[in-house]
Structure 1
Amino acid sequence: MSAVVVVGAGIVGSSVAYHLARRGVPVALLEQGPAPATGVTGDSFAWVRGSGGHWPGGAQDLHEYVLADYQRLVAELPHFTVRRTGSLSWAHTPSDNSRPGPGQFLIGPSDIAALEPNLRHPPDQAIHTPSDAGVDPTALTHALVAAAGAHGATVLHDTAATSLQVTNGRVEGVVTSTGLHAATTVVLTAGTNVPRLCEPLSADPAIAASPATLARVTAPPGLVKTIVASPYFEVREVREGDLLMVVPHVEGAAALERSAQDALQYMKATFQGSDQCRLLDYHTGRRPMPVHGPVIGYATDDRSVYVAVMHSAITLAPTVGRLIADELVTGRPASELQRCRPHADTASQRH
């Protein structure tokens, strides 16, 4: 029996398992796929926002810790790196650009060209956020899982959670495709599957699902220097010669193919030296989108079930994993998570 069973080896579950194992807690990490990050994590654009962006509900209370927690993971995890490239964002016309927030700067064509020298026609102005970064979400998740295992965690793949084991009103483990995994606490981090698993508890985490399509593009190394958010696409270099691009999502296979090809053509028209760029593949994932911001905390009064679902999970996972582990180990609630609770007043979460 493990003290804690974590359901879902995406970025959030892997972070929770790693931070628990590092503190000596017996933990089992269950993943329905053949490897970590085979779900929505692997389909993430993985834009780590240090400033700016939309921080709904309790996410506002977490974002100030994001960059420091990522820097800590760089020191703790072998071979893990963060691409601190900064970001450039511009709208259709200069008047449409939002005013820069803290840590952001409104810059003109010469500064834009210095940051992105391959732009054919730099816009009149753009918002530059120097602290923004990108990560390889699959590589990070694998690194967290490997480190969790090195600290004693049990990691089980091809182990789909089908239901919670409830005895006399208390959850005592997880029923899976490979059998029962007993635990004193179950942590549910399985994204859009969390509401289904919570049904016997009469709990509704209010988690919607939003489709997002990403395309992988082969390109000359260094073609894109920063994270670029234009009116027609978002693109960044994940590793040398490998670009990740956000494609406008549309329904239907043929329409989605056209959308991916159109985004590639916009990208080629934007960057000189992009003639050799080729679309490798594209894929649509269903991101969990909690209605009022991150949902993090105990779902039962007896503290046998804990849920952790959020957007953007890639940005928040290192911070959230640290805070959840501290709550489970010490029994003390983390003040930073106060507005993320499953039973928190939803009106207060909106502000």
Structure 2
Amino acid sequence: MGRGKRIMSAVAVVGAGIVGASVAYHLARRGVSVTLLDRGPSPATGVTGNSFAWIGGCGGDWPGGARDLRESVGADYRRLETELADVTVRWTGSLTWTETPDGHESRLEAGRFWVGGSDIATLEPNLRNPPERAVHTPSDGGVDPVAVTNALVDAARTLGARVIHNSAVTSLAMSGQRVEGVWSATGFHAAETVVLTAGTDTPTLCEPLLAGVPVATPPVCLVRLAAPAGLITSIVACPDFEVREVRDGELLLTLPMAAGTAATSSEQVERNALRQVRTAFRGSDSCRFLGHRVCRPPMPAQGPVIGFAERDRSVYVALMHSGMTLAPTVGRLIADELVTGRPAPELRRCRPRRLAP
């Protein structure tokens, strides 16, 4: 492939999922010249579009540096709601429990509370067999992942970012030991810094610089159901599934799948999903199956991997779970690091191990 005409950009962001969209938006807000490249025909066509999109919800599991970012999640989403008209969060709170509830109340983090009996009945009056107690997190919410990503990309474009779709990045462009841009389906794109927010493609793209980033990709089955409006009032996470109302009359349900499981037929998924919901909730007999998808979100083994992959600052990695929860906070912090050159203390425990202090 010939190089053709070079188009200079201060920062090239690879991947227009929720994390890349947030990085591009926050950089553009700071006046940085940004090119956002994505393999799909529109934003959020990969893992982001198939996200359960539970904001704040990690079931209490915030590995590695994710824990240091948790307190900022709610504030950053509320900030986006004020900045971008098309960002709307359903702040419903969540109710979670496991088969063996933890008996040590002191282990709950701030903002999460043990509830039982009448409190559970008030939060989820249609539960057939409520647990003795559960964890209630009032600050949790849910979003439409595609709508939020589109809002961020559109705002970045309005602020001057260049957005290029159908432009799968194939490799980093190296000049000696330095990354000087990327090669993609639309040619060469020069950049002072490349930010890799390409999800499961990130370890492959940065492998020459950062070999062996451990990332699991467990399969998750997402099911959409038509349901009576208000059947479920919060985000419910029980041992067998997670479910939330994404809009009036529509539920989104996650069903676990064993790693390596063969593709499950639509009929099997339908039977399982309807059985789970009808067993769990009164008034659910009229629920109807609308469809399902299986996705494989990237889950770095030791928590988020966020930071420069080279000491010359030419390539930056942002790989995490859950991207939907963390993206507004991470986008803000990455933009601040790139603009000011000052490390963000909140990202200290997220650094790529090879370059960690």
Do the two structures share a fold, i.e. TM-score over 0.5? yes
SS at match of 1:287: coil
Query: In the alignment, is the contact (CA less than 8 A) between 2:86 and 2:148 conserved in 1?
Result: no
**Cα distance change of structure 1 residues 230 and 260 upon mapping to structure 2, 3 Å threshold:** farther
Q: 2:89 aligns with which of 46, 67, 82?
A: 82
Q: Distance in 1 between matches of 2:341 and 2:87?
A: 31
Is the deviation greater in 132-141 or in 323-332? 132-141
Contact 2:269 2:292 in 1 (8 A): no
Report how far residue 199 of structure 1 moved.
2.3
Pairing partner for 2:298 from 288, 310, 326: 288
What runs of 5+ residues in structure 2 fail to find an aligned partner?
1-7
| Structure 2 residue 220 is the aligned partner of structure 1 residue 212 | yes
The structure 2 residue matched to 1:171, chosen from 175, 179, 187, is 179
Q: 2:350 aligns with which of 317, 336, 340?
A: 340
Alpha-carbon offset, residue 90 of structure 1:
2.2
Residue 197 of structure 1 aligns to which amino acid in structure 2? L
Query: Which secondary structure state, in structure 2, belongs to the residue aligned with residue 155 of structure 1?
Result: strand
Q: Provide the residue aligned with 1:182 in structure 2.
A: 190
1:253 aligned partner: 263
Quick one: which of 37, 40, 47 aligns to 1:33?
40
Q: Distance in 1 between matches of 2:276 and 2:63?
A: 31
Task: Give the structure 2 partner of residue 24 of structure 1.
Answer: 31
Letter paired with 2:98: A
Match of 1:5 in 2: 12
Residue 102 of structure 1 aligns to a residue in which SS?
A: coil
1:325 aligns with 2:335: yes
Q: Is the alpha carbon distance of 1:184 and 1:128 closer, same or farther for their aligned partners in structure 2, counting shifts above 3 Å?
A: same
Give the number of aligned pairs. 346
Query: 75-84 vs 96-105, which deviates more?
Result: 96-105
| 8 Å contact kept, 2:195–2:318 | yes
In 2 relative to 1, CA 108–141 (structure 1 residues): closer, same or farther, beyond 3 Å?
same
- Counterparts of 1:277 and 1:115 in 2: how far apart (Å)? 21
Using the size of structure 1 for normalisation, the TM-score is 0.93
The aligned residue for residue 130 of structure 1 is: 138
What secondary structure, in the 3-state scheme, does the structure 1 residue paired with 2:296 have?
A: strand
Query: Aligned letter for 1:114?
Result: T
1:300 is aligned to 310
Gaps of 5+ in 1: none
Cα contact 1:49–1:131 (8 A) shared by 2: yes
1:195 aligns with 2:195: no
Match of 2:160 in 1: 152
Alignment CA distance shift 1:51-1:11 (3 Å): closer
For 2:327, the aligned partner's letter is: A
Between 96-105 and 303-312, the greater mean CA deviation after superposition:
96-105
Aligned to 2:151: 143
Corresponding residue number in structure 1 for 2:170: 162
Contact 2:223 2:273 in 1 (8 A): no
Q: 1:64 and 2:74 equivalent?
A: no
What's the secondary structure of 1:284's corresponding residue?
A: strand
Check conservation: 1:30, 1:156, Cα contact below 8 A: yes
Residue type of the alignment partner of 1:7: V
* Seq. identity, %: 62
Secondary structure of the structure 2 residue equivalent to 1:232: coil
Cα distance change of structure 1 residues 168 and 253 upon mapping to structure 2, 3 Å threshold: closer
C-alpha spacing 1:171/1:51, structure 2 compared with 1 (3 Å): closer
Question: For 1:70 and 1:245, how far apart are their aligned partners in 2?
Answer: 23
**C-alpha offsets along residues 119-162 of structure 1, whole Å, 9 cap, x if unaligned?**
23333222211111111111111110011111011111111000
Q: For residues 159 and 147 of structure 1, do their structure 2 counterparts lie closer, same or farther at Cα, with a shift above 3 Å needed?
A: same
SS at match of 1:236: strand
Query: Helix, strand or coil for the counterpart of 2:277?
Result: helix
Spell out, residue by residue over 1:245-269, the C-alpha distance to the aligned partner (whole angstroms, 9 max, x if none): 0112141234675255213211112
Does the CA-based 8 Å contact 1:118-1:271 persist in structure 2?
yes
* 1:230 aligned to which of 238, 248, 251: 238
Root-mean-square deviation (CA, aligned residues, Å) is 2.0
1:107-126 equivalences under 5 Å are 107-126=115-134
2:60 corresponds to 1:44: no
Residue type of the partner of 2:168?
A
When structure 1 is superposed on structure 2, of 138-147 and 117-126 the one drifting more is 117-126
> What is the alpha-carbon distance in structure 1 between the residues aligned to residue 177 and residue 102 of structure 2?
54
Offset from partner CA, 1:271-307 (integer Å, 9 cap, x none): 1221221121111111111111110000012111000
Q: Which amino acid is the alignment partner of residue 271 of structure 2?
A: Q
Range 203-212 or range 328-337, more displaced: 203-212
